A and B are shown apart, each in its own frame.
Chain A
Protein backbone atom coordinates (compact mmCIF):
# COMPACT_ATOMS: atom_id res chain seq x y z
CA UNK A 1 0.00 0.00 0.00
CA UNK A 2 1.52 3.28 -1.03
CA UNK A 3 -0.95 5.41 0.90
CA UNK A 4 0.62 8.29 2.79
CA UNK A 5 -1.17 9.66 5.83
CA UNK A 6 -0.58 13.07 7.37
CA UNK A 7 -1.54 14.80 10.61
CA UNK A 8 -4.01 17.59 9.87
CA UNK A 9 -4.22 19.91 12.84
CA UNK A 10 -7.16 22.31 13.00
CA UNK A 11 -7.24 25.42 15.16
CA UNK A 12 -10.00 28.00 15.56
CA UNK A 13 -12.09 26.13 13.01
CA UNK A 14 -9.49 26.21 10.21
CA UNK A 15 -6.76 23.87 9.05
CA UNK A 16 -3.37 25.08 10.24
CA UNK A 17 -0.67 25.84 7.73
CA UNK A 18 1.11 22.61 8.66
CA UNK A 19 -2.03 20.65 7.70
CA UNK A 20 -2.01 22.26 4.26
CA UNK A 21 1.74 21.79 3.76
CA UNK A 22 1.60 18.15 4.79
CA UNK A 23 -1.43 17.54 2.57
CA UNK A 24 0.62 18.67 -0.39
CA UNK A 25 3.57 16.57 0.75
CA UNK A 26 1.46 13.47 1.26
CA UNK A 27 -0.16 13.93 -2.15
CA UNK A 28 3.27 14.18 -3.76
CA UNK A 29 4.56 11.07 -2.00
CA UNK A 30 1.42 9.04 -2.58
CA UNK A 31 1.30 9.97 -6.27
CA UNK A 32 2.44 6.59 -7.54
CA UNK A 33 -0.69 4.59 -6.96
CA UNK A 34 -1.63 5.56 -3.42
CA UNK A 35 -3.78 8.07 -1.64
CA UNK A 36 -3.06 11.01 0.65
CA UNK A 37 -5.06 10.43 3.86
CA UNK A 38 -5.61 13.21 6.37
CA UNK A 39 -5.83 12.42 10.10
CA UNK A 40 -7.73 15.44 11.34
CA UNK A 41 -8.08 16.75 14.88
CA UNK A 42 -8.72 19.97 16.72
CA UNK A 43 -11.58 22.49 16.71
CA UNK A 44 -13.22 22.54 13.25
CA UNK A 45 -11.80 19.20 12.14
CA UNK A 46 -15.15 17.58 11.44
CA UNK A 47 -16.47 20.57 9.48
CA UNK A 48 -13.27 21.29 7.61
CA UNK A 49 -12.20 17.75 6.79
CA UNK A 50 -13.80 17.61 3.37
CA UNK A 51 -12.14 20.86 2.39
CA UNK A 52 -8.73 19.18 2.71
CA UNK A 53 -9.51 17.65 -0.66
CA UNK A 54 -8.51 20.92 -2.29
CA UNK A 55 -5.21 20.71 -0.43
CA UNK A 56 -4.43 17.28 -1.83
CA UNK A 57 -6.13 14.76 0.46
CA UNK A 58 -8.14 11.95 -1.11
CA UNK A 59 -9.62 10.86 2.22
CA UNK A 60 -9.76 12.30 5.72
CA UNK A 61 -10.31 10.42 8.96
CA UNK A 62 -11.59 12.71 11.72
CA UNK A 63 -9.98 11.69 15.01
CA UNK A 64 -11.64 14.26 17.27
CA UNK A 65 -12.86 17.85 17.12
CA UNK A 66 -12.55 18.75 20.78
CA UNK A 67 -10.58 21.77 21.90
CA UNK A 68 -8.16 19.63 23.84
CA UNK A 69 -4.39 19.08 23.81
CA UNK A 70 -3.30 17.37 20.59
CA UNK A 71 -1.96 14.38 22.53
CA UNK A 72 -5.46 13.44 23.62
CA UNK A 73 -6.26 12.11 20.14
CA UNK A 74 -3.53 9.48 20.54
CA UNK A 75 -6.04 6.67 21.03
CA UNK A 76 -7.97 7.02 17.76
CA UNK A 77 -4.76 8.00 15.95
CA UNK A 78 -2.95 4.79 16.88
CA UNK A 79 -5.95 2.72 15.87
CA UNK A 80 -6.35 4.53 12.56
CA UNK A 81 -2.69 4.00 11.69
CA UNK A 82 -2.75 0.40 12.86
CA UNK A 83 -5.72 -0.50 10.72
CA UNK A 84 -4.90 1.74 7.76
CA UNK A 85 -1.22 0.75 7.67
CA UNK A 86 -0.07 3.55 5.35
CA UNK A 87 3.48 3.53 4.04
CA UNK A 88 4.17 6.72 5.96
CA UNK A 89 2.59 9.13 8.43
CA UNK A 90 3.77 12.73 8.02
CA UNK A 91 3.80 14.74 11.24
CA UNK A 92 4.78 18.40 11.70
CA UNK A 93 8.03 18.91 13.60
CA UNK A 94 6.21 20.97 16.23
CA UNK A 95 5.61 20.01 19.86
CA UNK A 96 2.14 18.73 19.02
CA UNK A 97 3.36 16.81 16.00
CA UNK A 98 6.26 15.31 17.91
CA UNK A 99 4.00 14.28 20.79
CA UNK A 100 1.76 12.32 18.46
CA UNK A 101 4.65 10.93 16.42
CA UNK A 102 6.29 9.69 19.61
CA UNK A 103 3.13 7.94 20.77
CA UNK A 104 2.88 6.20 17.39
CA UNK A 105 6.47 5.02 17.71
CA UNK A 106 5.95 3.74 21.23
CA UNK A 107 2.54 2.14 20.71
CA UNK A 108 3.16 0.48 17.34
CA UNK A 109 6.95 0.09 17.24
CA UNK A 110 7.30 2.17 14.07
CA UNK A 111 10.53 3.52 12.56
CA UNK A 112 10.73 7.32 12.83
CA UNK A 113 12.71 9.86 10.80
CA UNK A 114 13.31 13.52 10.86
CA UNK A 115 12.94 16.35 10.80
CA UNK A 116 13.72 15.62 7.16
CA UNK A 117 15.17 17.87 4.47
CA UNK A 118 13.58 15.68 1.85
CA UNK A 119 11.73 12.38 1.60
CA UNK A 120 11.04 10.10 -1.35
CA UNK A 121 9.23 6.84 -1.76
CA UNK A 122 11.43 4.00 -2.94
CA UNK A 123 9.75 0.68 -3.52
CA UNK A 124 6.90 1.47 -1.15
CA UNK A 125 9.12 2.64 1.69
CA UNK A 126 10.42 6.08 2.60
CA UNK A 127 13.95 7.26 1.98
CA UNK A 128 14.62 10.23 4.23
CA UNK A 129 17.34 12.84 3.98
CA UNK A 130 18.23 14.51 7.25
CA UNK A 131 20.70 17.04 8.54
CA UNK A 132 22.48 15.64 11.60
CA UNK A 133 25.29 16.58 13.96
CA UNK A 134 24.00 20.14 13.99
CA UNK A 135 24.36 20.54 10.25
CA UNK A 136 27.74 18.88 9.86
CA UNK A 137 26.38 15.85 8.03
CA UNK A 138 23.56 14.97 5.65
CA UNK A 139 22.36 11.40 6.07
CA UNK A 140 20.02 9.24 4.04
CA UNK A 141 18.02 6.69 6.02
CA UNK A 142 15.65 3.84 5.30
CA UNK A 143 13.49 1.66 7.51
CA UNK A 144 15.37 -1.44 8.64
CA UNK A 145 14.49 -4.65 6.78
CA UNK A 146 12.73 -6.04 9.87
CA UNK A 147 10.74 -2.87 10.56
CA UNK A 148 6.97 -2.61 10.17
CA UNK A 149 5.73 -1.21 6.86
CA UNK A 150 4.64 2.17 8.26
CA UNK A 151 7.20 4.92 8.94
CA UNK A 152 6.66 8.11 10.91
CA UNK A 153 8.27 11.13 9.26
CA UNK A 154 8.71 14.49 11.00
CA UNK A 155 8.53 17.35 8.53
CA UNK A 156 9.69 20.90 9.25
CA UNK A 157 7.59 23.87 8.30
CA UNK A 158 8.37 25.17 4.84
CA UNK A 159 9.44 21.82 3.42
CA UNK A 160 6.29 21.58 1.32
CA UNK A 161 4.24 24.31 -0.29
CA UNK A 162 0.45 24.18 0.07
CA UNK A 163 -1.35 23.41 -3.17
CA UNK A 164 -2.93 26.41 -4.84
CA UNK A 165 -6.17 26.55 -6.71
CA UNK A 166 -7.03 22.94 -5.94
CA UNK A 167 -10.57 21.73 -5.83
CA UNK A 168 -12.43 18.65 -4.89
CA UNK A 169 -13.65 17.29 -1.65
CA UNK A 170 -12.03 14.55 0.38
CA UNK A 171 -14.09 11.57 1.51
CA UNK A 172 -14.58 11.94 5.26
CA UNK A 173 -14.95 9.23 7.85
CA UNK A 174 -15.03 9.27 11.61
CA UNK A 175 -12.39 7.34 13.52
CA UNK A 176 -13.84 4.90 16.02
CA UNK A 177 -13.31 6.03 19.59
CA UNK A 178 -10.33 4.35 21.21
CA UNK A 179 -9.06 4.64 24.72
CA UNK A 180 -5.63 5.90 25.63
CA UNK A 181 -3.92 7.08 28.80
CA UNK A 182 -3.21 10.30 26.84
CA UNK A 183 -6.91 11.16 27.05
CA UNK A 184 -6.26 12.04 30.69
CA UNK A 185 -4.25 15.13 29.76
CA UNK A 186 -6.33 18.28 30.04
CA UNK A 187 -5.86 22.03 29.91
CA UNK A 188 -6.61 23.58 33.29
CA UNK A 189 -5.64 27.14 32.44
CA UNK A 190 -4.85 29.21 29.38
CA UNK A 191 -3.20 32.60 29.37
CA UNK A 192 -2.97 34.89 26.39
CA UNK A 193 -0.01 37.17 26.90
CA UNK A 194 0.26 38.82 23.52
CA UNK A 195 -1.76 39.42 20.45
CA UNK A 196 -1.59 36.39 18.19
CA UNK A 197 1.89 36.21 16.81
CA UNK A 198 1.92 35.14 13.19
CA UNK A 199 3.68 31.81 13.10
CA UNK A 200 7.36 32.41 12.41
CA UNK A 201 7.54 29.20 10.49
CA UNK A 202 5.27 30.68 7.83
CA UNK A 203 7.26 33.86 7.25
CA UNK A 204 9.21 34.24 4.02
CA UNK A 205 11.37 36.99 5.52
CA UNK A 206 12.54 37.08 9.13
CA UNK A 207 14.45 39.83 10.90
CA UNK A 208 15.92 38.34 14.07
CA UNK A 209 17.60 40.12 16.96
CA UNK A 210 20.06 38.83 19.50
CA UNK A 211 22.07 40.00 22.48
CA UNK A 212 23.48 42.89 20.48
CA UNK A 213 20.08 44.56 20.30
CA UNK A 214 20.50 45.30 23.96
CA UNK A 215 16.94 46.00 25.13
CA UNK A 216 13.25 45.67 24.47
CA UNK A 217 13.27 49.19 23.05
CA UNK A 218 16.07 48.18 20.72
CA UNK A 219 13.73 45.75 19.00
CA UNK A 220 11.61 48.65 17.77
CA UNK A 221 14.09 49.29 14.97
CA UNK A 222 13.85 45.61 13.99
CA UNK A 223 10.06 45.75 14.01
CA UNK A 224 10.20 48.62 11.56
CA UNK A 225 12.69 46.88 9.31
CA UNK A 226 10.55 43.75 9.30
CA UNK A 227 7.49 45.79 8.43
CA UNK A 228 9.32 47.46 5.55
CA UNK A 229 10.38 44.04 4.25
CA UNK A 230 6.95 42.50 4.80
CA UNK A 231 8.43 39.98 7.15
CA UNK A 232 8.28 38.78 10.74
CA UNK A 233 10.48 39.40 13.76
CA UNK A 234 12.34 36.60 15.52
CA UNK A 235 14.96 36.43 18.24
CA UNK A 236 17.78 34.42 19.66
CA UNK A 237 17.45 32.74 23.01
CA UNK A 238 19.53 35.45 24.67
CA UNK A 239 16.97 38.09 23.73
CA UNK A 240 14.08 35.94 24.93
CA UNK A 241 15.81 35.08 28.21
CA UNK A 242 16.44 38.78 28.75
CA UNK A 243 12.72 39.38 28.41
CA UNK A 244 13.03 41.67 25.38
CA UNK A 245 10.68 39.50 23.31
CA UNK A 246 8.20 36.73 24.14
CA UNK A 247 9.53 33.19 23.93
CA UNK A 248 7.26 32.48 20.97
CA UNK A 249 9.75 34.44 18.87
CA UNK A 250 12.77 32.37 19.85
CA UNK A 251 14.52 30.64 16.99
CA UNK A 252 16.99 27.89 17.65
CA UNK A 253 17.58 24.46 19.09
CA UNK A 254 15.01 24.94 21.83
CA UNK A 255 12.76 27.28 19.88
CA UNK A 256 11.43 27.44 16.37
CA UNK A 257 13.18 26.02 13.33
CA UNK A 258 12.62 28.22 10.28
CA UNK A 259 13.41 28.11 6.55
CA UNK A 260 12.59 31.55 5.17
CA UNK A 261 13.77 32.96 1.89
CA UNK A 262 15.63 35.69 3.78
CA UNK A 263 16.97 35.62 7.35
CA UNK A 264 18.44 38.88 8.60
CA UNK A 265 20.40 38.26 11.81
CA UNK A 266 20.97 41.46 13.74
CA UNK A 267 23.31 41.46 16.74
CA UNK A 268 23.33 37.66 16.81
CA UNK A 269 26.65 35.92 17.33
CA UNK A 270 25.63 32.72 15.57
CA UNK A 271 26.29 30.13 18.25
CA UNK A 272 25.39 26.58 17.24
CA UNK A 273 22.22 26.53 19.33
CA UNK A 274 20.83 29.38 17.24
CA UNK A 275 22.32 28.21 13.99
CA UNK A 276 20.43 24.92 13.97
CA UNK A 277 17.19 26.90 13.99
CA UNK A 278 17.88 28.94 10.84
CA UNK A 279 20.79 27.54 8.84
CA UNK A 280 18.42 26.21 6.17
CA UNK A 281 17.31 29.73 5.24
CA UNK A 282 17.85 30.48 1.57
CA UNK A 283 19.66 33.78 2.10
CA UNK A 284 21.34 34.75 5.33
CA UNK A 285 22.42 38.35 6.03
CA UNK A 286 24.15 39.21 9.29
CA UNK A 287 24.84 42.61 10.84
CA UNK A 288 27.26 42.51 13.79
CA UNK A 289 29.85 44.71 15.45
CA UNK A 290 32.20 41.77 15.92
CA UNK A 291 34.09 40.76 12.78
CA UNK A 292 34.89 37.39 14.39
CA UNK A 293 31.30 36.46 15.21
CA UNK A 294 30.68 32.83 14.24
CA UNK A 295 27.68 33.85 12.13
CA UNK A 296 30.18 35.13 9.57
CA UNK A 297 31.06 31.53 8.84
CA UNK A 298 27.69 30.61 7.41
CA UNK A 299 26.11 33.88 6.32
CA UNK A 300 25.84 34.86 2.68
CA UNK A 301 26.36 38.54 3.41
CA UNK A 302 28.16 39.67 6.57
CA UNK A 303 28.07 43.35 7.40
CA UNK A 304 30.46 44.49 10.13
CA UNK A 305 29.05 47.57 11.77
CA UNK A 306 26.81 49.13 14.35
CA UNK A 307 23.32 47.74 14.04
CA UNK A 308 21.83 50.82 15.68
CA UNK A 309 23.24 52.95 12.86
CA UNK A 310 22.64 50.56 9.99
CA UNK A 311 19.18 49.11 10.66
CA UNK A 312 17.19 52.38 10.64
CA UNK A 313 19.04 53.52 7.51
CA UNK A 314 18.33 50.21 5.83
CA UNK A 315 14.65 50.55 6.67
CA UNK A 316 14.63 54.06 5.21
CA UNK A 317 16.42 52.89 2.06
CA UNK A 318 13.96 50.06 1.51
CA UNK A 319 11.01 52.40 2.00
CA UNK A 320 12.60 54.85 -0.42
CA UNK A 321 12.91 52.19 -3.12
CA UNK A 322 9.33 51.14 -2.58
CA UNK A 323 7.99 54.65 -2.62
CA UNK A 324 9.55 55.75 -5.88
Chain B
Protein backbone atom coordinates (compact mmCIF):
# COMPACT_ATOMS: atom_id res chain seq x y z
CA UNK B 1 0.00 0.00 0.00
CA UNK B 2 1.32 3.47 -0.79
CA UNK B 3 0.89 6.64 1.19
CA UNK B 4 1.71 10.02 -0.32
CA UNK B 5 2.38 12.71 2.29
CA UNK B 6 1.92 16.26 1.02
CA UNK B 7 4.43 18.57 2.67
CA UNK B 8 4.75 22.29 2.40
CA UNK B 9 7.91 24.29 2.82
CA UNK B 10 7.49 27.42 4.92
CA UNK B 11 9.91 30.01 6.30
CA UNK B 12 11.21 29.12 9.74
CA UNK B 13 9.31 30.99 12.43
CA UNK B 14 11.07 32.99 15.09
CA UNK B 15 11.53 30.74 18.04
CA UNK B 16 11.72 31.78 21.67
CA UNK B 17 15.04 33.27 22.68
CA UNK B 18 17.65 30.57 22.91
CA UNK B 19 21.38 30.21 23.08
CA UNK B 20 22.77 30.06 19.60
CA UNK B 21 26.15 29.88 18.00
CA UNK B 22 27.50 32.60 15.73
CA UNK B 23 26.41 34.95 18.55
CA UNK B 24 22.87 35.28 17.25
CA UNK B 25 20.27 35.69 19.91
CA UNK B 26 17.22 34.43 18.10
CA UNK B 27 16.74 31.50 15.85
CA UNK B 28 15.07 33.20 12.90
CA UNK B 29 16.56 31.55 9.92
CA UNK B 30 16.18 32.57 6.35
CA UNK B 31 16.25 28.89 5.68
CA UNK B 32 12.99 27.14 5.02
CA UNK B 33 11.63 24.27 7.05
CA UNK B 34 8.91 21.67 6.72
CA UNK B 35 5.58 23.16 7.81
CA UNK B 36 5.58 21.98 11.43
CA UNK B 37 2.07 20.52 11.22
CA UNK B 38 3.10 18.40 8.24
CA UNK B 39 5.70 16.68 10.43
CA UNK B 40 2.84 14.96 12.25
CA UNK B 41 1.56 13.60 8.94
CA UNK B 42 5.06 12.35 8.15
CA UNK B 43 5.29 10.71 11.57
CA UNK B 44 1.91 9.03 11.14
CA UNK B 45 2.86 7.71 7.70
CA UNK B 46 6.18 6.34 8.93
CA UNK B 47 4.51 4.60 11.87
CA UNK B 48 2.10 2.93 9.49
CA UNK B 49 5.03 1.81 7.38
CA UNK B 50 6.76 0.37 10.46
CA UNK B 51 3.57 -1.54 11.18
CA UNK B 52 4.07 -3.08 7.70
CA UNK B 53 0.58 -2.28 6.50
CA UNK B 54 2.17 0.27 4.19
CA UNK B 55 5.14 -0.54 1.98
CA UNK B 56 5.84 2.80 0.41
CA UNK B 57 5.86 6.37 1.68
CA UNK B 58 6.36 9.10 -0.92
CA UNK B 59 6.52 12.85 -0.27
CA UNK B 60 4.89 15.39 -2.57
CA UNK B 61 5.42 19.12 -2.46
CA UNK B 62 4.52 22.06 -4.62
CA UNK B 63 6.80 25.05 -4.49
CA UNK B 64 9.87 26.78 -5.87
CA UNK B 65 13.05 24.82 -6.57
CA UNK B 66 14.23 25.34 -3.00
CA UNK B 67 11.24 23.35 -1.76
CA UNK B 68 13.37 20.31 -2.52
CA UNK B 69 14.98 21.05 0.87
CA UNK B 70 11.76 20.25 2.70
CA UNK B 71 11.49 17.04 0.70
CA UNK B 72 15.03 16.00 1.62
CA UNK B 73 14.36 16.70 5.29
CA UNK B 74 11.22 14.60 5.06
CA UNK B 75 13.16 11.77 3.45
CA UNK B 76 15.76 12.04 6.19
CA UNK B 77 13.04 11.09 8.68
CA UNK B 78 12.30 8.02 6.57
CA UNK B 79 10.51 7.31 3.30
CA UNK B 80 11.01 5.94 -0.16
CA UNK B 81 10.81 8.79 -2.63
CA UNK B 82 9.86 12.38 -3.23
CA UNK B 83 8.20 14.42 -5.97
CA UNK B 84 8.42 18.18 -6.40
CA UNK B 85 6.01 20.07 -8.60
CA UNK B 86 7.67 23.31 -9.51
CA UNK B 87 6.86 25.84 -12.16
CA UNK B 88 7.18 29.63 -12.46
CA UNK B 89 3.46 29.69 -13.32
CA UNK B 90 2.71 28.57 -9.77
CA UNK B 91 4.16 31.56 -7.98
CA UNK B 92 1.47 33.15 -5.80
CA UNK B 93 -0.78 30.09 -5.94
CA UNK B 94 -3.74 30.09 -3.56
CA UNK B 95 -5.44 27.10 -1.93
CA UNK B 96 -7.52 26.37 -5.02
CA UNK B 97 -4.53 26.29 -7.36
CA UNK B 98 -2.56 24.25 -4.87
CA UNK B 99 -5.37 21.74 -4.58
CA UNK B 100 -5.71 21.42 -8.37
CA UNK B 101 -2.01 20.85 -8.83
CA UNK B 102 -1.65 18.39 -5.97
CA UNK B 103 -4.72 16.50 -7.19
CA UNK B 104 -3.22 16.16 -10.65
CA UNK B 105 0.06 14.90 -9.21
CA UNK B 106 -1.82 12.47 -6.96
CA UNK B 107 -3.73 11.09 -9.94
CA UNK B 108 -0.36 10.13 -11.34
CA UNK B 109 0.98 8.70 -8.08
CA UNK B 110 -2.30 6.88 -7.28
CA UNK B 111 -1.75 6.25 -3.57
CA UNK B 112 -4.31 4.47 -1.41
CA UNK B 113 -3.95 7.21 1.17
CA UNK B 114 -3.05 10.88 0.74
CA UNK B 115 -1.97 12.29 4.07
CA UNK B 116 -1.55 15.93 5.06
CA UNK B 117 -1.11 18.05 8.14
CA UNK B 118 -4.19 19.87 9.35
CA UNK B 119 -3.09 23.36 8.31
CA UNK B 120 -0.06 25.34 7.28
CA UNK B 121 1.85 27.47 9.73
CA UNK B 122 -0.40 30.49 9.96
CA UNK B 123 -3.58 28.39 9.92
CA UNK B 124 -4.40 29.28 6.35
CA UNK B 125 -4.26 26.43 3.88
CA UNK B 126 -6.59 24.31 5.99
CA UNK B 127 -8.91 23.77 3.04
CA UNK B 128 -6.36 22.06 0.83
CA UNK B 129 -6.96 18.49 2.03
CA UNK B 130 -10.74 18.73 1.54
CA UNK B 131 -10.43 20.48 -1.80
CA UNK B 132 -8.03 17.79 -3.03
CA UNK B 133 -10.48 15.10 -1.91
CA UNK B 134 -13.34 16.80 -3.74
CA UNK B 135 -11.33 17.24 -6.97
CA UNK B 136 -10.19 13.63 -6.93
CA UNK B 137 -13.63 12.36 -5.95
CA UNK B 138 -12.49 10.45 -2.87
CA UNK B 139 -13.70 10.52 0.76
CA UNK B 140 -12.14 12.98 3.19
CA UNK B 141 -11.14 11.97 6.73
CA UNK B 142 -9.84 15.16 8.31
CA UNK B 143 -8.58 16.27 11.74
CA UNK B 144 -7.63 12.80 12.85
CA UNK B 145 -5.64 12.37 16.05
CA UNK B 146 -4.72 8.95 14.75
CA UNK B 147 -4.99 7.17 11.40
CA UNK B 148 -5.46 3.44 11.14
CA UNK B 149 -5.64 1.26 8.07
CA UNK B 150 -7.70 -1.90 7.84
CA UNK B 151 -8.41 -4.11 4.89
CA UNK B 152 -9.58 -1.72 2.19
CA UNK B 153 -10.56 1.07 4.57
CA UNK B 154 -9.08 3.92 6.57
CA UNK B 155 -10.18 5.08 10.03
CA UNK B 156 -9.44 8.23 11.95
CA UNK B 157 -10.03 9.14 15.55
CA UNK B 158 -11.57 12.59 15.66
CA UNK B 159 -12.44 14.66 18.71
CA UNK B 160 -16.07 15.56 19.32
CA UNK B 161 -17.39 17.80 22.12
CA UNK B 162 -17.62 14.97 24.64
CA UNK B 163 -15.00 12.51 23.51
CA UNK B 164 -14.18 11.13 20.11
CA UNK B 165 -15.62 9.38 17.08
CA UNK B 166 -13.98 6.78 14.89
CA UNK B 167 -14.76 7.69 11.29
CA UNK B 168 -14.22 5.18 8.51
CA UNK B 169 -14.20 5.35 4.72
CA UNK B 170 -13.20 2.93 1.97
CA UNK B 171 -9.85 3.44 0.24
CA UNK B 172 -8.60 5.50 -1.49
CA UNK B 173 -8.98 8.46 0.87
CA UNK B 174 -7.52 11.84 1.66
CA UNK B 175 -6.75 12.20 5.36
CA UNK B 176 -5.36 14.94 7.56
CA UNK B 177 -3.95 14.52 11.06
CA UNK B 178 -3.49 16.86 14.01
CA UNK B 179 -0.60 17.28 16.43
CA UNK B 180 -2.09 14.63 18.71
CA UNK B 181 -0.54 11.94 16.52
CA UNK B 182 2.56 12.08 18.73
CA UNK B 183 6.00 13.62 18.62
CA UNK B 184 7.56 13.55 15.17
CA UNK B 185 10.86 11.69 15.07
CA UNK B 186 14.16 13.39 14.43
CA UNK B 187 16.02 12.62 11.26
CA UNK B 188 18.81 10.13 11.84
CA UNK B 189 22.24 10.58 10.41
CA UNK B 190 21.81 7.54 8.17
CA UNK B 191 18.47 8.98 7.11
CA UNK B 192 20.16 12.22 6.09
CA UNK B 193 22.80 10.33 4.15
CA UNK B 194 20.26 8.10 2.43
CA UNK B 195 18.07 11.10 1.59
CA UNK B 196 20.99 12.79 -0.08
CA UNK B 197 21.35 9.82 -2.42
CA UNK B 198 17.71 9.58 -3.39
CA UNK B 199 16.34 10.74 -6.71
CA UNK B 200 13.88 13.59 -6.56
CA UNK B 201 11.28 13.53 -9.30
CA UNK B 202 10.40 16.96 -10.62
CA UNK B 203 7.23 17.80 -12.51
CA UNK B 204 6.12 20.98 -14.18
CA UNK B 205 2.57 22.16 -14.78
CA UNK B 206 2.80 20.85 -18.35
CA UNK B 207 4.01 17.45 -17.13
CA UNK B 208 0.77 17.19 -15.18
CA UNK B 209 -1.31 17.97 -18.23
CA UNK B 210 -2.52 21.23 -16.74
CA UNK B 211 -2.95 24.56 -18.49
CA UNK B 212 -1.55 27.55 -16.58
CA UNK B 213 -4.49 29.60 -17.86
CA UNK B 214 -6.71 27.47 -15.64
CA UNK B 215 -4.50 27.92 -12.60
CA UNK B 216 -5.28 31.51 -11.74
CA UNK B 217 -5.71 32.29 -8.04
CA UNK B 218 -9.31 32.95 -7.09
CA UNK B 219 -8.60 35.54 -4.42
CA UNK B 220 -6.56 38.71 -4.32
CA UNK B 221 -5.15 40.70 -1.44
CA UNK B 222 -5.93 44.39 -1.83
CA UNK B 223 -4.52 45.79 1.38
CA UNK B 224 -2.10 44.63 4.06
CA UNK B 225 -1.27 46.55 7.22
CA UNK B 226 0.05 45.74 10.62
CA UNK B 227 -2.70 45.63 13.20
CA UNK B 228 -3.31 48.73 15.28
CA UNK B 229 -0.61 48.91 17.93
CA UNK B 230 -1.72 47.62 21.27
CA UNK B 231 -0.66 49.59 24.31
CA UNK B 232 1.89 47.72 26.42
CA UNK B 233 0.68 45.64 29.32
CA UNK B 234 0.23 47.10 32.76
CA UNK B 235 2.72 45.06 34.76
CA UNK B 236 2.17 44.25 38.41
CA UNK B 237 5.11 42.67 40.15
CA UNK B 238 6.64 42.56 43.57
CA UNK B 239 3.28 42.55 45.33
CA UNK B 240 2.28 39.92 47.85
CA UNK B 241 -0.38 37.54 46.56
CA UNK B 242 -3.17 39.13 48.60
CA UNK B 243 -2.44 42.59 47.21
CA UNK B 244 -2.01 41.19 43.72
CA UNK B 245 -5.41 39.51 43.92
CA UNK B 246 -7.04 42.76 44.99
CA UNK B 247 -5.35 44.73 42.22
CA UNK B 248 -6.56 42.22 39.64
CA UNK B 249 -10.09 42.34 41.01
CA UNK B 250 -10.03 46.15 40.89
CA UNK B 251 -8.84 46.06 37.28
CA UNK B 252 -11.62 43.64 36.33
CA UNK B 253 -14.21 45.72 38.15
CA UNK B 254 -13.09 48.90 36.36
CA UNK B 255 -13.85 47.13 33.10
CA UNK B 256 -17.16 45.74 34.37
CA UNK B 257 -15.95 42.19 33.93
CA UNK B 258 -16.92 41.46 37.52
CA UNK B 259 -19.32 43.05 39.96
Contact = CB atoms under 8 A, between A and B. Distances in A.
A touches B in complex, CB < 8 A: yes
A237 B134 contact: no
B130 A101 contact: yes
A137 B258 contact: no
A103 B223 contact: no
A254 B241 contact: no
Interface string B137-174: 11111110100000000010011111111111110000
**Highest count of chain B CB atoms <10 Å: which of A110, A115, A133, A303:** A303
B235 interface: yes
A109 B94 CA distance: 12
Contacts of A297: 233
A138 interface: yes
Contacts of A112: 95-96, 127, 218-219
B122 to A, nearest CB: 5
Contacts of B23: none
A215 B65 CA distance: 46
A229 B258 contact: yes
B96 A262 contact: no
Nearest to B232: A297
A314 B244 CA distance: 8
Interface residues of B, number: 84
**Highest count of chain A CB atoms <10 Å: which of B118, B222, B233:** B233
Interface in B212-259: 216-227, 230, 233-239, 241-242, 244-249, 251-253, 255, 257-259
Contacts of B217: 144
Interface in B196-211: none
**Highest count of chain A CB atoms <10 Å: which of B96, B158, B220, B241:** B241
Interface in A95-149: 95, 98-107, 109-113, 115, 127, 131-144, 146-148
Nearest to B258: A318
Contacts of B121: 134
Nearest to B255: A283
B29 interface: no
B140 A303 contact: no
Contacts of B141: 185
B22 interface: no
A238 to B, nearest CB: 12
Nearest to A285: B248
B129 interface: yes
A144 B219 contact: yes
A205 B257 CA distance: 9
A133 B219 contact: no
Interface string B75-112: 00000000000000000001110010001000000000
Contacts, number: 263
A276 interface: yes
B67 interface: no
Contact of B16 (A139, A181, A294): A294
B233 A140 contact: no
A144 B216 contact: yes
A296 B235 contact: yes
Contact of A69 (B129, B167, B234, B247): B167
B113 interface: no
B133 interface: yes
Contacts of B170: 184
B239 A305 contact: yes
Contacts of A83: none
A217 interface: no
Nearest to A102: B130
Given A247-B180, A283-B255, A313 B138 contact: no
A261 B257 contact: yes
Contacts of A276: 122-123
Interface in A35-68: none
A104 B164 CA distance: 25
A194 B163 CA distance: 6
B244 to A, nearest CB: 5
B219 A190 contact: no
A137 B257 contact: no
22 contacts: A74-B134, A106-B103, A107-B134, A111-B218, A112-B218, A138-B226, A139-B223, A140-B224, A142-B219, A142-B222, A181-B133, A181-B139, A188-B166, A189-B166, A191-B164, A205-B257, A248-B159, A285-B252, A297-B233, A305-B236, A305-B241, A317-B246
Given A237-B179, A287-B248, A304-B238, 19 more contacts: A95-B158, A98-B142, A102-B126, A102-B131, A103-B134, A111-B94, A113-B219, A137-B224, A140-B223, A140-B224, A141-B219, A186-B169, A254-B180, A298-B230, A301-B236, A303-B247, A313-B241, A314-B248, A318-B258
Interface of B: 13, 16, 37, 94-96, 99, 103, 118-119, 121-124, 126-135, 137-143, 145, 155, 158-170, 178-180, 216-227, 230, 233-239, 241-242, 244-249, 251-253, 255, 257-259
Interface of A: 69, 71, 74, 95, 98-107, 109-113, 115, 127, 131-144, 146-148, 181-182, 184-197, 199, 205, 229, 237, 247-248, 253-254, 261-262, 269, 271-272, 276, 283, 285-287, 291, 294, 296-306, 309-310, 313-314, 316-318, 321-322
